[in-house]
Amino acid sequence: MNQEYYDSVDKMEKMGVSNEYIQGWIGGYIQNPKREEQRVNEAYNAGYEDGENKEQSNFGNWVGK
């Protein structure tokens, strides 16, 4: 992994971002296959998409959710 990955995850955890979003972001960032359909939700999908794009500007949208 690279420093961007660790810094992003650390930032999300400190901000209080939804765990589902974080898990999705991590999966998308490292290009893991998506979860099974019954275990996917809105936060996970948003995180996965942002992780794939290495997008960090949407973290605030998922604080406290």
pLDDT, tens digit, for every residue of 3-33?
Answer: 999 999 999 999 999 999 999 999 999 999 9
pLDDT of residue 36: 94
Domain contains 34: yes
Q: What is the CA radius of gyration of the chain?
A: 11
Bridge partners of 17, per DSSP, are 63
Containing structural domain, residue 7: 3-56
Let me know if residue 64 belongs to a domain.
Answer: no
Structural element, H or E, at residue 5: helix 3-15
Please give the pLDDT value at position 1. Answer: 66
In a domain, 51, yes or no: yes
Tally of structural domains, the chain: 1
Residue 61 lies in a domain: no
In this prediction the pTM is 0.93
